[in-house]
Amino acid sequence: MQDATTPTAAAPHVHPMGMGFAQTLGDMRFMGWVSLIYGILTCLSILGAIVGVPLIIASHRFIEGVNRFDMYRQNPGAQDELRTGFHELGRSFRIMKILVIIHIFLIVGYIFFLFFLGGIGLLSELANS
């Protein structure tokens, strides 16, 4: 009986991080590019640039982290690549966390602005009657 931790002859190319590591990297790269494109499209409006420019920076750092993980996948002994990849992802997530807070603030401000305009419209209706 063979130990579960030793690779068999049928699976010579199994990475130490597991079989799904390459698929996860592909999904991460896809999400990085999608958020980069979303950031570029968001920058088409002036107010959208408040969120779009930092999103572009965060997406670029996210893709850099994924590239570092890919370098680690190709050379499992390169622990520096793994460490740098986590560092880049951490920087990216920090920016995205700040962006989510800013985005929530802008949405709440927009809702208050709509209620304010509705109140002004209601007051003008009362003044005209």
- What's the structural domain count of the chain? 1
Is 11 among the domain residues? no
DSSP character at residue 14: -
Is 105 among the domain residues? yes
Is 114 among the domain residues? yes
Whether 32 contacts 57, CB under 8 Å: no
- Tell me the C-alpha to C-alpha distance, in Å, between residue 92 and each of 16, 124, 126: 25, 47, 51
Is 5 among the domain residues? no
**pTM summary value:** 0.69
Band the pLDDT of 1: cuts 50, 70, 90.
very low
Within 13 Å, how many C-alpha atoms sit on residue 71's CB side?
15
Q: 110: domain range?
A: 23-128
DSSP character at residue 57: H
Is 4 among the domain residues? no
Band the pLDDT of 118: cuts 50, 70, 90.
confident
**CA 107 from centroid of its chain's CA atoms:** 19
